[in-house]
Structure 1
Amino acid sequence: MPFCSNCGKELKEGTKFCSGCGASQTGEASSTNTQQNNISGTICPKCGSTIPFGNVACTNCGSLLNPDKHTTAIVLGYICSVFLPLFGIIFGIYLLTRPNKDVHKHGIIMIILSIVLAAIWWLFFSYMAYTSRMSYYSSYPSYGRSSYYNRYGY
């Protein structure tokens, strides 16, 4: 079994590029070949095939070129979903637009959580406003407004 001359990783028979570091294994590392690879795209770190610029995943094996976890956006999004639901929705949409499919589920959960908690916050503040209004009207003395309306049938 051959090994990579650059990083020492074990390779399959007949591979042209190392799956670990992307180094050429043909033995003839010409500068024109390297320039051609840099012009036409990047080398996949998993399978070694050339990926055209603008692609976010390898066309040969499907691995992502930039598999960011977006942990900061996930944590901030969940915090905002609880306290500031509008920003939770914004973080959820941000995560849905990322190329990493693993963070899409967090985006969906964040949007749903934000909508549910926004409804709960709205109900809570509506109830608080209603009870404060009722306590204001109940503070009138008995000879005040309510006795006037009762006396004249209004």
Structure 2
Amino acid sequence: MKICPNCGEQLADEAIFCKSCGVNLDDFVVGKETPAAPQYIPPVEENDHKIAIILGYVGGFIWPIIGLIVAIYLLTRDSEKAKKHGKYVILFSLFIWVVSLLIMNR
């Protein structure tokens, strides 16, 4: 007696197909490798550096030197979005710095 490797049904020794699930038993011959199903490979997503961008704006508002450091980090990334925000964070940090100097000197 054979046993179906797919569903476990007992079969006659000369059976080619499983009477229960219909699987081809020749595909499961001992020592014969079964064809592997194609695996799904998810697309690689570009790192958009959301945390660094947020840290740049918040850091630039609280302490502009932190904003400038994060902006330089963003400018050195490969992502166009990160580079764009790096420029904005530099401008924003410099603006906050100038405004804070004007307020302090009054």
Q: Given the two structures, how large is their TM-score scaled by the length of structure 2?
A: 0.59
Aligned residue among 56, 76, 95 for 1:116: 95
Aligned residue among 92, 97, 103 for 2:76: 97
CA distance in 2 between partners of 1:79 and 1:69 (Å): 17
Quote the RMSD (CA, aligned, Å): 1.8
> After the TM superposition, which residues 126-137 of structure 1 pair with which residues of structure 2 at under 5 Å, given as runs?
126-127=105-106
Partner of 1:70: 49
Amino acid at match of 2:48: K
CA distance in 2 between partners of 1:109 and 1:120 (Å): 16
> After the TM superposition, which residues 5-154 of structure 1 pair with which residues of structure 2 at under 5 Å, given as runs?
5-7=37-39, 21=41, 67-127=46-106
- 1:79-105: CA deviations, max 9, x gaps? 011111111011011001011112111
Amino acid at match of 1:78: Y
When the two structures are aligned, how many residues end up with a matched partner? Answer: 70
The Cα of 1:66 is off from its aligned counterpart by 6.3
CA distance in 1 between partners of 2:70 and 2:48 (Å): 14
Q: Given the two structures, how large is their TM-score scaled by the length of structure 1?
A: 0.42
Higher relative contact order (CA 8 A, sep 6+): 2
Amino acid at match of 1:6: P
Q: Unpaired segments of 5 or more residues in structure 1?
A: 8-19, 22-44, 47-64, 128-154
Runs of 4+ in 1 over 4 A off after TM superposition: none
Q: Unpaired segments of 5 or more residues in structure 2?
A: 1-36
CA distance in 2 between partners of 1:66 and 1:76 (Å): 21
